[in-house]
Amino acid sequence: MAVEPSRLTPGVVVSHRRFELDDRTIREYAAAVDDASPVQVDAEDEARLAPPMAVAALMLRGVVNDLDMPGGTLHTGQELEFVRTVRAGDELDCTATVARSSVRGGRWFVVFNLTAEDGEGRTVLTGTSTLMMPGE
């Protein structure tokens, strides 16, 4: 049963997941978005670096999979801040929390805070996603 948007109040944690961003996942992501920009490599250990938008996609995966969103939900806005690079093979803890919500024109606008931390607890990426959900 789809989530009732009115239950998405500030502070509610909607997803907390750990992902491994392995080389295969990075390659599949790059192929899916047909990214032709040069692969970035870590200067110290020459490890392949994940495109930051691949990390962002993982952060959103938790929201998409853990929140049974009502049909007609649309992604209307996205903010991201890349804090640290992520190497292939890094494990990431991704958390999504409701920041705020409002009703306009019979639709819910829910803003989620997203964070991704590496295995050492360092923030690598933060952001907000705004989803528009039907219903009042």
Partner 1 sequence: MEEGSALPVVTKLVTQERIEQYAEASGDFNPIHIDPEYAAATQFGGTIAHGMMVAAMVSESMARAFEMDWYKTGRLKLRFRAPVRPGETVTASGKVRSASRLDDSRELRCTVGVRKADGEAVVTGEAVVSVKLS
Contact positions toward partner 1, by CB under 8 A?
25, 28-29, 31-38, 40, 49, 51-54, 56-58, 60-61, 64-65, 69, 71-82, 84-85
The residue among 18 and 75 lying less far from partner 1, judged by its C-beta, is: 75
CB of 41 to partner 1, least distance (A): 9
Closest CA to 73 of 130, 129, 128, 133: 133
**CA pair distance 89, 26, nearest whole angstrom:** 10
> Residue 94 is which amino acid?
C
65 phi, psi to nearest 5 deg: -85, -30
The residue among 12 and 30 lying less far from partner 1, judged by its C-beta, is: 30
CB of 125 to partner 1, least distance (A): 10
Contact 92, 21 (CB under 8 A): yes
CB of 70 to partner 1, least distance (A): 11
End-to-end CA distance of the chain: 16
The residue among 20 and 35 lying less far from partner 1, judged by its C-beta, is: 35
3-state secondary structure (DSSP) of residue 54: helix
CB of 79 to partner 1, least distance (A): 5
The residue among 71 and 121 lying less far from partner 1, judged by its C-beta, is: 71
Tokens of 40: 């970035």
**CA pair distance 97, 126, nearest whole angstrom:** 12
CB of 86 to partner 1, least distance (A): 9
The residue among 9 and 65 lying less far from partner 1, judged by its C-beta, is: 65
